[in-house]
Amino acid sequence: YSLTLNPCCEILYAPFIFSSWKYTVQRLKDVTSPSSSISRGEFALSDSFYFYRKGLESIVDDQVTQRFSSEELVSWNLLTRTNHNFHYISLRLTVIWGLGVIIRYCVLFPLRITLAIIGLSWLVIGTTLVGFLPNRRVKNWLSELVHLMCYRICARGLSATIQYHNKNNKPQKGGICVANHTSPIDIVILANDGCYAMVGQSHSGLMGVIQRSMVRSCPHVWFERSEMRDRHAVTSRLRAHVAAKSNLPILIFPEGTCINNTSVMMFKKGSFEIGGTIYPVAIKYDPRFGDAFWNSAKYNMVSYLLRMMTSWAIVVNVWYLPPMTRQEGEDATKFANRVKSAIAHQGGLLDMAWDGSLKRDKVKEEFKEQQQKMYSSMVVGKKARNSQEPHTESTRR
């Protein structure tokens, strides 16, 4: 039952439930044996109930898989994604919805497509032309100007309405900007208010053309597929970038995957081992006007962009948090959790310890071992208390 209803329950509790059940059945088979350890109080049927209960709790209130689906709204906002069961309520509402479809698809969508094409075309042309200039201050100034202009045109293509808070805490050159991750357009949202050095894997096709043109004018950090698998190579290149205080701040999303903007999941510690100053940024979208979350398991990039450009608008708040540095004696994991908690608190998001990679991968073995050790200590402690009870009773007598 749990394996069918809940993937999180399957990857986390199913191994324990299965092993506990096998153990229980085997012990029940031996119950008639005179030498059975059950008669000596070493095993009780209730010992295996802990993981049964945990599995059922996971089905009823799963904290992981629900973070990878679009947030449901209390009321319908004239977009079909918020209420899949909508059929017919009234003639007036149906007419309003029909007019909205015409406006979004026949008026707004063509304009947004045009703006997006203009922005991307100018990004490729402008950065390529700037790349021919010698490495001087004029080149850096023109590069930042071109990037800002192109990203702002692309943001208009999404009808993005952005409000920035605490601009005095904006990321500075030579630093690392970390933010919660909801959508690929997070880059466009942040780059509207300042330039960043992007970090990512090298691509081919149209994306490859854009990457190669951008890196000519600005020191972005693109990795080959083989380099991305080498953690030490990635860390070395990022440290070299941060060491040059004239370089733009690196933009990193430590969650590693898109979350539906209701919570912040575990930050990978690699971004916090580089050194330098961390500039946290909290991003919170308003889902009433358009769903910015990208469910990559359900929609490809083209379908996602189509949904974005046919929404009413993308309304978002961005908070720049005070810069943070690693404290003395603090390891990278604790530092990452401290930054994550600050972002979650500012954005009004849930602070979760779960790893976002559970969207595709299974629970790590060390986490399973941790749960097994906790379960073992509970059983051993229970047996120790039971063994002391007869001795205590005899003492009282």
Residue 173 lies in a domain: yes
The confidence score (pLDDT) of residue 36 equals 46
Dihedral (C-alpha) 325, 326, 327, 330: value to the nearest 10 degrees? 160
pLDDT tens profile 101-139: 899 999 999 999 999 999 999 999 999 999 888 888 888
At residue 287 the predicted structure's pLDDT band, cuts being 50, 70 and 90, is confident
Q: 159 CB contacts (<8 Å, ≥6 apart)?
A: 108, 112, 311, 312, 313, 314
Report the SS3 class of residue 81: helix
Per-residue model confidence (pLDDT) at position 307: 86
Total structural domains in the chain? 2
> Would 83 be classed as within a structural domain?
no
**Could you tell me which residues come within 8 angstroms of residue 174 by beta carbon, excluding any fewer than 6 positions away?**
242, 243, 244, 245, 246, 247, 249, 276, 277
Asked if pLDDT for residue 317 goes beyond 80, the answer is yes
Which pLDDT belongs to residue 339?
94
**Domain check: are 309 and 381 in the same one?**
no
Q: Is 285 helix (H, G, I), strand (E, B) or coil?
A: strand
376 vs 313, more confident = 313
CA-closest candidate to residue 256, choices 219, 201, 305:
201
- Cα 263 from chain centre: 8
Assign residue 329 a region: left if phi > 0, alpha if psi is -120 to 50, beta otherwise? Answer: left
Domain match, 264 and 382 both: no
Do 256 and 288 have their domain in common?
yes
User: 11 and 50, same structural domain?
Assistant: yes
Structure tokens given for 127: 């950065």
Q: Is residue 39's pLDDT more than 50?
A: no
Return the minimum-mean-pLDDT range out of 151-165, 292-306, 339-353.
292-306
Backbone angles phi, psi at 229, to 5 degrees: -80, -15
Cα(88)–Cα(283) distance, rounded to whole angstroms? 35
Whether 271 maps to a domain, the answer reads: yes
Answer yes or no: is 315 within a domain: yes
Quick one: pLDDT at residue 7?
A: 46
Give me the helix-helix angle, 14-29 and 49-60, nearest 10°: 150
Give the model's pLDDT for residue 392.
Answer: 52
pLDDT surpasses 90 at 300? no
Average pLDDT rounded to a whole number, residues 211-216: 84
Lowest average pLDDT, out of 28-42, 157-171, 217-231, 382-396, goes to 28-42
Q: Is the pLDDT of residue 31 over 50?
A: no
Task: Name 350's bridge partners.
Answer: 263
State whether 387 and 335 are in the same domain. Answer: no
Residue 49's domain comprises: 2-64+360-396
| 58 pLDDT more than 90 | no
Same domain? 377 vs 345: no
Do 60 and 20 reside in the same domain of the chain? yes
Q: What is the pLDDT of residues 47-56, one digit of tens each?
A: 667 777 777 6
Query: Region 140-168: what's the mean pLDDT?
Result: 92
Say how far apart CA 56 and CA 333 lie, in whole Å. Answer: 30
Q: State pLDDT tens for residues 63-107.
A: 666 676 676 666 677 776 544 555 566 788 778 888 988 999 999
Q: Are residues 201 and 186 in the same domain?
A: yes
What was the pLDDT predicted at 346? 94
| pLDDT confidence of residue 38 | 44
Per DSSP, the three-state class of 343 is: helix
Residue 145 lies in a domain: no
Quick: pLDDT tens for 257-277. 888 888 898 898 888 888 889
Average pLDDT, the chain: 78
Tokens of 18: 């299965």
Structure pTM? Answer: 0.74
Judge whether 100 lies within some domain: no
Q: How far apart are CA 247 and CA 218, in angstroms?
A: 9
Partner residues linked to 178 by β-bridges: 252, 280
Same domain (yes/no): 210, 241: yes
What would the pLDDT profile of 322-374 be if each residue is shown by its tens digit? 999 988 888 888 999 999 999 999 999 988 887 776 666 666 677 677 777 77
Check whether residue 391 and residue 262 sit in a common domain: no
Are residues 306 and 387 located together in one domain of the fold?
no
Establish if 104 belongs to a structural domain: no
